[in-house]
Structure 1
């Protein structure tokens, strides 16, 4: 049974004082938006809401990109491990090629994966538990002579096979992802440039992936254009 009022009208939304919302969100938190709106609090709250809508749309795009990136790197390192004929998985790092941070993150990922999968954790569960930062740092210069020669095969369309051309956009995407995760403002971020970073990473893996991820009916672009 419908609970809508007679005539299909929606109940009136109560008017909430802007200063009250600002107080609840925290004045310092809203200050960035107020400054961007030259002290206009009403407009600042519209900008705050737009920031949240943008963050949601960009998070979706970044989520697809992260999954595709980490799977590409994982597949390349799995192939390398198999060619070398070493038992176990590349996650085991029997040659000690990974730095301490990476090894610690793998230990944590394995522990979390075992909680849900039990004994005999499939590699995909470990991949899913590793943070974006883990994959970002596998592209760092410290691995240019060890892991990169194998990882680069996961990015056959990377111009010139230059590691830095992949690392730099991934660094920027990792940074903006963290901003979104902590509900920070994106209003000073060059969002079209970050979208270009997404497209560059996906294009390096497979141009078809770029087309698939960006097939959102123009939603993200429209949100960017609707900034208050």
Structure 2
């Protein structure tokens, strides 16, 4: 509670109000980020599956027969399949994809894949202002860091919350403007931001 108490001049009631608001804001972002995460993984997985098929490779792209993925990504896939089997399910491509972390997808957009995977992945964002990899990587990188804060229940009231909402909307628009509209219509973030009990340092 230290950060909350300092912001509220050690008024415990006010600090608890801010803590409660922080939790409310976190849940609103978590909900909207969930839509983005599902869209992102579906787009990237679809592009990788199409690339795999075009190259005439056997099995699934998750098997990485062309050794396109780095060791960390391959280990993430192994663990994802292991988690599926631990649940008593068949480790199909769909089941394994659903177990892969946001970080897995984020790092597929990294510089190391600029000349290998990215030319195929870029087609998954037909409405982006350019096919430059960093156009997609930068907002996803920021959202990955922000998502980690949410996952660890850390304070977010003092972060650039409006910008993170815009990052979500930008990537959704790059995928499909209709998808952005659907998510934005249901998003609670803007309404929640208006109710913060203290002045925030960032918009």
- Name the TM-score class by shorter chain: over 0.9
Cα shift readout 1:32-67 (whole Å, capped 9, x = no counterpart)? 111122222211110000000111111000001000
Q: d(CA) in 1 for partners of 2:180 and 2:108? A: 22
Match of 1:152 among 115, 122, 131: 122
User: Does residue 173 in structure 1 map to residue 143 in structure 2?
Assistant: yes
Q: d(CA) in 1 for partners of 2:84 and 2:55? A: 26
Cα shift readout 1:134-177 (whole Å, capped 9, x = no counterpart)? 00000000000000000001111111111101101001111111
User: Does residue 193 in structure 1 map to residue 195 in structure 2?
Assistant: no
Give the structure, 1 or 2, with the largest relative contact order (CA under 8 Å, sep 6 or more): 2
Tell which deviates more after alignment, 168-177 or 33-42.
33-42
Q: Secondary structure at the match of 1:160?
A: coil
- State which structure, 1 or 2, has the greater radius of gyration over its C-alpha atoms: 1
Q: Please, what TM-score do these two structures have when normalized by structure 2?
A: 0.94
> How many residues are aligned here?
197
Q: Please, what TM-score do these two structures have when normalized by structure 1?
A: 0.84
Extract unaligned runs of 5+ from structure 2. Answer: 198-203
Q: d(CA) in 2 for partners of 1:122 and 1:207? A: 31
Extract unaligned runs of 5+ from structure 1. Answer: 1-29
Q: Secondary structure at the match of 1:186?
A: coil
Tell which deviates more after alignment, 92-101 or 60-69.
92-101
How do 1:92-131 and structure 2 match up within 5 A?
92-116=63-87, 118-119=89-90, 121-131=91-101
Q: d(CA) in 2 for partners of 1:42 and 1:114? A: 47
Q: d(CA) in 2 for partners of 1:77 and 1:117? A: 26
Cα shift readout 1:176-210 (whole Å, capped 9, x = no counterpart)? 11111111100121111000000011011000111
User: Does residue 57 in structure 1 map to residue 28 in structure 2?
Assistant: yes
How do 1:60-99 and structure 2 match up within 5 A?
60-99=31-70
Cα shift readout 1:111-140 (whole Å, capped 9, x = no counterpart)? 112233544x32111111000000000000
